[in-house]
Amino acid sequence: MRVGVIGTGHVGLVTCVALAEIGHDVVGVDRDQERILKLQDGRAPFFEPGLEPLLEKGLNQRLLAFSVEPESAVADREVVFICVGTPPRTDGQANLVAIESAAREVARAASGELIVAEKSTVPAGTADRIHRTIALEHRSSRNGIEVVSNPEFLREGTAIEDALRPSRILVGANSPRGHEVMRRLYAAAIDAGSPLVETDIRTAELAKHASNAFLALKISYVNALARVCERTGADVDSIADVMGFDPRIGRAFLDAGLGYGGFCFPKDLQAFERLADSVNYDFPLLREIRRLNDQAVEAVFDNVEDGLWNLEGKRVALLGLSFKPGTDDVRLSPSLALARRLIDAGATVAAFDPEAMMAAKEELPELELASDVFGATNDAHCVVLCTSWPQFRNIDLDLLKEVMAYPMVVDGRNMYDPAEMGARGFTYYPTGKPPIR
């Protein structure tokens, strides 16, 4: 099928390469000329495992093209995806200005029948707005243009895999034609076993908020449990294992630590809160999820302070800056929130991350960056494990102890075994378990 994608950020670009990989003819457009030039050259503008090879493959097979002209993603296409950013406004509501302008571009360039698929995460009711904007702008043959909602469930770091083999495909449409076109578009994944859920548009829009908020709830629940474990001497990971064996609960997203970050959960929760407000439903649980997430960073900070006493003049090394492993994304990363907190309290903060150093330096220029683990931990009074990059599991702990000023580790992702850390002579603060002093 001929597909257009407006917006080549994380969601848009992954959508482009995944659709080309299953044989569709895809044109991605973006206003950012520099980004488009890079993409035309086969270079990904951000790190996502597996993205660049598929980008090159799609370009070589001529199934993938990029342009700054919105018309090329609309004019002769059967489906056009809107994948532009919906960043939070200062009041927490999603800023939908880019969605409106994409809708206008679609209206101006559309010539015949077209399905407009909203993929950006948006509050319920946005598809109606897109439809109305298109109708106002495109007075003549607006009947052929239909808006559907097709939220993405991509996780950064495994986005390609998630796009090619989705856990579920959700399509909200208000007509059989909308569903039929989207079924054809995703036929390969559906045949390969991905469940398809077909709903009306509002249900699809709300389902995305509901899923993300529930995942964030699991994380905040286990982090609150961690605080109780710390005060009672219980072990949060073992409790999570016990809970996880119950198929009604499941073990995923019950890892206690520094909490969630990234550009999805924090922003979606706020937008969901604003949406509940706007329909006069008081939903304090959503606020509580956020409060507990902020508290998770504070709890790790308290452990650093407990171990070091005064932070002025102390050197703290952070291992991991991205909001989770497998990405260079530092947006709303809990590691950076902790770094800011430590710097404000007078500590010098050095850091190492396998992918996210440049992005982190831009966000927080006061950070001292090192080119490897031992560069960051050299002379440190405390090391904090912030992101669970797999390579941090295999650090040479004897060497670590040797290079540090004090042998103290605060584990914000519970990557190490407390007994082993104790046996090697570290002062060790895990999350949600008794410290080894």
Residues in contact with ligand UGA by the rule CB under 6 A: 121, 152-156, 212, 215, 219, 253-255, 257, 259-262, 264-265, 268, 323-324
Closer residue to ligand UGA in complex, CB, 127/269: 269
**DSSP annotation string for 284-310:** HHHHHHHHHHHHHHHHHHHHHHHHHS-
Closer residue to ligand UGA in complex, CB, 392/426: 392
Nearest alpha-carbon partner for 150 in 175, 177, 176, 127: 127
- 382 classed as catalytic: no
- How many Å apart are CA 17 and CA 65, to the nearest integer? 10
**DSSP annotation string for 81-141:** EE-----B-TTS-B--HHHHHHHHHHHHH--S-EEEEE-S---TTHHHHHHHHHHHH--SS
User: CA distances (Å), 62 to each of 37, 41, 249, in order?
Assistant: 16, 13, 45
Own/partner contacts of 39-44, CB < 8 Å, gap of 24 or more, are 39/8, 39/13, 39/66, 40/65, 40/66, 44/13
Rounded to a whole number of angstroms, the minimum distance from the CB of residue 254 to ligand UGA is 6
Closer residue to ligand UGA in complex, CB, 295/378: 295
Which of 16, 83, 229, 264 is catalytic? The answer is: 264
Rounded to a whole number of angstroms, the minimum distance from the CB of residue 252 to ligand UGA is 7
Helix, strand, coil fractions of the chain, as percent rounded to 5 = 45, 15, 40
Rounded to a whole number of angstroms, the minimum distance from the CB of residue 25 to ligand UGA is 25
Rounded to a whole number of angstroms, the minimum distance from the CB of residue 15 to ligand UGA is 12
Closer residue to ligand UGA in complex, CB, 215/311: 215
Closer residue to ligand UGA in complex, CB, 11/74: 11
Rounded to a whole number of angstroms, the minimum distance from the CB of residue 255 to ligand UGA is 3
Catalytic residues: 264
